[in-house]
Amino acid sequence: MPNLKQNLQWLVDAMIGAGADAKTIADVVTSLGADITTPTEMPAGGVGIRGWLSAIYTKLNASLAVTGTFWQATQSVSATALPLPDGAATAAKQLADGHNVRQSNAADDGAYMQPADNAVFPVKLNGAALALKAATVITTDGTVNGTPVTGLDIYTLATILLTISAKTMDASTTLDVYLQYSPDGGTTWDDIAHFAQVTSAAIGGGTYVLFLNANGPAAVDRVTDAAATLAANSVRSIDWCDRLRVTTVAANFADTDTITVKVEGYFK
């Protein structure tokens, strides 16, 4: 079996020959081709392996120009030919900022869904409370009917929270907070709940809660415009139909009397 020395000898003989055909190292270099003087140009006729390699290396080691027939400038794109309805690519079909939201054909994920009559109503997401009356500072006497919140006829249970803060009242000052409903779409309003009366001595700062159940026992009840007449600290177990509002009645406010009221609800 040939040994390593024999293998090396065979390799040298193959490269430079043996005997009369022997070649010198200079002969081998010459056969491979001499260095070219301008490596960015390919050797004429492709003679010389080292020249070819040098030219390829030089080309790849520098920036390469991108050439050919193509669009090199920025091109405009028109939506005219797209399969869209008329006006879809313009602002003409967009809703105005601050528009009301309707929802339908979606799973109940905790948001208020669209009622059957397509009414517009605020949207509650992720279990957030629905504002029935934003935080309001009261400093003068009078009855104030809040803005109705509609679209509530799809719910049967509600937790209503009254938050009292920044309260400064003298002995004669009173505040009554009513929750009212309308059985006829807003024409007639009646009380469904009346929180305990707020005075200088009773109902301090904090949050107070009442519970409503629209599936109460069947009963004959009044249907009359009797707002702000229900006894204090009372709740009627009736259906609130599709809307609720908050009414406040302030009496004997003077000088430095002031109180901040906020009402919100959770519906299901």
Per-residue model confidence as pLDDT tens digits over 175-224 = 999 999 998 899 999 999 999 999 988 878 889 999 888 887 655 555 56
- For the cut 80, the answer to whether the pLDDT of residue 241 exceeds it is yes
pLDDT for position 240: 87
pLDDT digits (tens, 9 = 90+) for 12-63: 565 555 555 555 556 655 555 555 555 555 455 455 566 666 677 677 777 7
- 39 C-beta neighbours (distance < 10 Å), count: 19
Question: Mean pLDDT over all residues of the chain?
Answer: 74
Report the pLDDT value the prediction gives residue 145, as an integer from 0 to 100. 95
Residue extents of the structural domains in the chain: 4-60, 130-267
Residue 95: what pLDDT?
Answer: 67
Residues 6+ apart with CB under 8 A from 172: 252
Please state the φ and ψ torsions of residue 149, each to the nearest 5 degrees.
Answer: -105, 120
For 130-267, CATH number out of 2.60.120, 3.30.70, 2.40.50, 2.60.40 equals: 2.60.120
Q: Tell me the HSE value of 27 on the side-chain side, using a 13 A CA sphere.
A: 7
User: What pLDDT, in 10s, does the model give residues 115-169?
Assistant: 444 444 444 444 578 999 999 999 999 999 999 999 998 888 899 999 999 999 9
pTM of the model: 0.54
pLDDT of residue 63: 78
Instruction: Specify the pLDDT at position 144.
Output: 96
The rounded percent of the chain whose pLDDT value lies above 70 is: 53
Helices (DSSP H) in the chain: which residue ranges?
4-16, 25-32, 49-60
pLDDT given for residue 120 in this prediction? 40
The predicted pLDDT at position 146 comes to 94
